């Protein structure tokens, strides 16, 4: 049994030891390099403080020539676990201040220093592009040797020596040791040494005894706390920085109209979308809207955007489409009354009053037909509905059956209107109508993640915001990962992406066995894509990760099944537990297993509350809530129960393909290991 707070206490002790170790390293570096004279300038102070980081895996390049200039230099290029730091050292009499969007020293405008540092960073970013380092991995710092400061000024950060060390040590690890060496080698070739190296510690005058100590250069406690933040970071920090050349090219590509990125699970579509949003924010004006269908994913997107480029976070709005529609209606003073429970009751009353010719189909089938086909495609007359293709709906409905559905829809809408109610699909239709009445300004570009899960109405809203302008609209998704009923044809949205589509073909996420398990679920399966083509269940795909383990746990009862799963979860160490998830196919299952985790004393975070911030304990939620995310270990309780139920349902033609796609999505959330539970009663 562990003691409450024990792990935190051990972590505190470990960080205290780390701080002492850093201090010892500083003294060792000082002793090796000799003592400096009393008048050592700020650049030497920064150099002495930084040199201890070499034992932490950092490469330091001091006083490098700036290519293309006759005498200008880059004070420090530091390459380490947290990325590439471009450091310009300053010693100003007055402390730096940011006032009215300008950098001041006293009353003097120093914006030119920021422009100069940005100019220094551009060739570095270009030089490292071939190595796959995204711009977010290069950080610019104005470091003030004689002032304490820690403030962002656009892309540049102002810092004192303590704050610089805290940033370098405290940021999550993005580069592996091999990456550090290769990047340092590139920078050494592009940025040669100056003829006179002011930072060469072997050629400096001696410093009187006691002039400098670790405490006078930096605050040890601050650096230790920064190290704790780095320890808590998620492994996603690495892919936040590195993109392969094809991905980086896609991020920076210019399209002369709406464009699309596709690719199977794990190929980095969402990562490219995040970097694309930042690229657009940096290179254009207006708000960049990064949207999707589910409500939980935008919270994670916003957190990642802030961690990647805090200076641009205010330019990128991450919000799901329904929330954006509500905000639009609120801004324009249009009333609505959204109540899903009451709306569902009105649908039930309408269904009871309706005479459906095919009454064998379950009620949810007719509910989905209204939500995803009639309202989802914005159909307003029966004549439209009678002839409209129904992508993703395999149960055939003739004209007479559609007439019954239309009567059901009409009755349902009348009941909602009588009570002053709206459902979620109504919100999108109201927002679209409002945009047709009066255009919305201020949106520079729209990036849609998981576009296959939106309805046609949602895609039309996005297109209304930016039209066909260059680089205005980017659709990201994979038809194989559709987890909601229905579908649409892009042609019906009023635009095309012909000639502006990219396909990502390398899986970076899943261990090979995990990936094969996920693809096997879709073997022989075909799915209608939004471009009016049919996508194969087994795409052409290269796998870059050969590890991975798949465990199929067979039990004779539900009790045995749950005991085995909880035992496997309990066996995880705290770090693995925090990077794991239990994914369920229904909300009822989520409630059931949340209670079981609580009874077992296992810390957990519901995915509908998760925003990407590192938290202890396992994550738990529906497969839909897990979309766009990845986890080190994934647990799928009763993974095949949904498939078995779908096979026996009256709407199996629709329900079974959707169940297979949902299971495929669940499996491909796993990186290192996948646990799948199933029950087979004895004798079967």
Alpha carbon separation from 366 to 76, 579, 651 (Å, rounded): 65, 39, 11
Pairing state of beta strands 618-622 and 604-606?
Answer: parallel
CB 663 within 8 A of CB 583: no
Cα–Cα dist 511/513, whole Å: 6
Neighbours of 302 (CB within 10 A): 18
Cα–Cα dist 387/399, whole Å: 8
Q: Is 267 one of the annotated binding-site residues? A: yes
Instruction: Output the six-digit token pair for 389.
Output: 């293709």
Beta strands in 577-663 (DSSP E): 580-584, 604-606, 618-622, 631-636
Neighbours of 436 (CB within 10 A): 10
Q: Is 263 one of the annotated binding-site residues? A: yes
Query: Residue 186: what are its φ and ψ, rounded to 5°?
Result: -65, -45
Question: Dihedral of the CA atoms 229, 231, 235, 239 (nearest 10)?
Answer: 60
Q: Is 284 one of the annotated binding-site residues? A: no
Beta strands in 20-161 (DSSP E): 59-65, 73-80, 83-90, 96-99, 102-105, 108-109, 138-144, 150-153, 156-160
Closest CA to 322 of 195, 457, 483, 488: 457
Cα–Cα dist 588/567, whole Å: 22
Cα–Cα dist 46/24, whole Å: 17
For the chain, the farthest-separated pair of C-alpha atoms sits apart, in whole angstroms, at 97
CB 175 within 8 A of CB 189: no
b/e burial code for range 495-508 (CB count within 10 A of at least 16 → b):
bebeebebebebbb
Instruction: Output the six-digit token pair for 437.
Output: 């009445």
Cα–Cα dist 536/499, whole Å: 21
Cα–Cα dist 674/517, whole Å: 9
Instruction: Output the six-digit token pair for 654.
Output: 């629709």
Q: Is 269 one of the annotated binding-site residues? A: yes
Give kind and range of the element (H or E) at residue 476: strand 473-477
Cα–Cα dist 275/289, whole Å: 13
Cα–Cα dist 482/660, whole Å: 10
Alpha carbon separation from 217 to 185, 212, 250, 448, 481 (Å, rounded): 29, 7, 43, 47, 53
Q: Is 270 one of the annotated binding-site residues? A: yes
Closest CA to 289 of 425, 155, 449: 449
Q: Is 292 one of the annotated binding-site residues? A: no
Pairing state of beta strands 287-291 and 443-448?
Answer: parallel
Known binding residues: 263-270
Binding residues for ATP: 263-270
């Amino acid at each position: 049994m562990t003691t409450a707070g024990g792990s935190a206490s051990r972590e505190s002790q470990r960080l205290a030891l780390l701080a002492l170790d850093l201090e010892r390293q500083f003294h060792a570096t000082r002793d090796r390099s000799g003592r400096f004279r009393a008048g050592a300038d700020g650049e030497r102070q920064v150099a002495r403080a930084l040199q201890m980081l070499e034992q932490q895996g950092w490469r330091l390049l001091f006083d490098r020539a700036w290519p293309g200039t006759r005498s200008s230099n880059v004070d420090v290029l530091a390459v380490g676990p947290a990325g590439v730091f471009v450091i310009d050292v300053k010693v100003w009499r007055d402390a730096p201040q940011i006032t009215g969007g300008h950098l001041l020293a006293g009353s003097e405008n120093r914006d030119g220093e920021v422009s100069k540092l940005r100019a220094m960073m551009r060739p570095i970013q270009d030089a490292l592009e071939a190595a796959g380092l995204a711009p977010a991995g290069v950080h610019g710092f104005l470091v003030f040797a004689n002032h304490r400061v820690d403030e962002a000024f656009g892309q540049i950060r102002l810092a004192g020596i303590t704050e610089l060390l805290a940033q370098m040590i405290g940021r999550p690890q993005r580069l592996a040791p091999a990456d550090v060496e290769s990047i340092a080698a590139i920078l050494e070739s592009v940025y040669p040494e100056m003829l006179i190296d002011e930072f060469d510690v072997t050629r400096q005058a001696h410093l009187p005894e006691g002039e400098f100590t670790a405490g006078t250069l930096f605050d040890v406690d601050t650096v230790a706390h920064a190290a704790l933040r780095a320890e808590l970071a998620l492994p996603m920090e690495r892919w936040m920085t590195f993109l392969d050349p094809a991905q980086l090219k896609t991020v920076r590509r210019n399209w002369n109209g709406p464009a699309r990125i596709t690719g199977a699970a794990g190929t980095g579509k969402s990562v490219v979308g995040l970097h694309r949003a930042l690229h657009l924010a940096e290179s254009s004006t207006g708000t960049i809207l990064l949207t999707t269908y589910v409500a939980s994913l935008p919270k994670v997107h916003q957190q990642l955007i802030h961690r990647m480029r805090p200076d641009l976070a205010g330019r990128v709005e991450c919000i799901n489409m329904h929330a954006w529609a509500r905000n639009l209606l609120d801004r324009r003073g249009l009333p609505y009354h959204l109540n899903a429970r009451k709306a569902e009751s009105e649908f039930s009353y309408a269904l009871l009053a309706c005479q459906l010719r095919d009454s064998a189909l379950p009620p949810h089938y007719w509910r989905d037909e209204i939500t995803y086909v009639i309202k989802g495609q914005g159909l307003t007359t029966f004549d439209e509905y009678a002839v409209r293709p129904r992508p993703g709906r395999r149960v055939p409905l003739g004209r007479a059956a559609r007439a019954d559905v239309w009567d059901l829809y009409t009755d349902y809408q009348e009941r909602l209107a009588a009570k002053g109610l709206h459902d979620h699909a109504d919100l999108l239709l109201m927002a679209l109508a409002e945009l047709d009445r009066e255009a919305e300004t201020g949106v520079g570009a729209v990036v849609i993640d998981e576009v296959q899960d939106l309805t046609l109405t949602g895609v039309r809203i996005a297109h209304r915001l930016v039209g066909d302008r260059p680089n205005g609209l980017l659709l990201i998704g994979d038809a194989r990962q559709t987890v909601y009923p229905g579908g649409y044809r892009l042609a019906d949205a009023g635009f095309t992406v012909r000639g502006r589509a990219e396909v990502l073909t390398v899986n970076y996420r899943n261990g090979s066995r995990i990936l094969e398990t996920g693809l096997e679920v879709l073997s022989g399966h075909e799915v209608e894509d939004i471009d009016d083509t049919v996508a194969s269940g087994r795409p052409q795909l290269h796998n870059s990760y050969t590890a991975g383990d798949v465990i199929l746990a067979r039990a004779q009862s539900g009790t045995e099944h749950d005991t085995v799963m909880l035992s496997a979860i309990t066996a995880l160490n705290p770090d693995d537990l925090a990077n794991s998830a239990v994914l369920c196919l229904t909300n009822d299952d989520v409630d059931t297993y949340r209670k079981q985790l609580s009874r077992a004393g296992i810390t957990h975070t519901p995915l509908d509350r998760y925003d990407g911030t590192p938290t202890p304990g396992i994550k738990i939620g529906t497969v839909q809530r897990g979309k766009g995310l990845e986890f080190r270990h994934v647990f799928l309780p009763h993974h095949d129960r949904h498939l078995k139920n779908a096979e026996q349902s009256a709407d199996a033609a629709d329900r079974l393909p959707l169940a297979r796609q949902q299971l495929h999505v669940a499996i491909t959330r796993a990186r290192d290991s996948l646990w799948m539970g199933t029950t087979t009663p004895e004798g079967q």
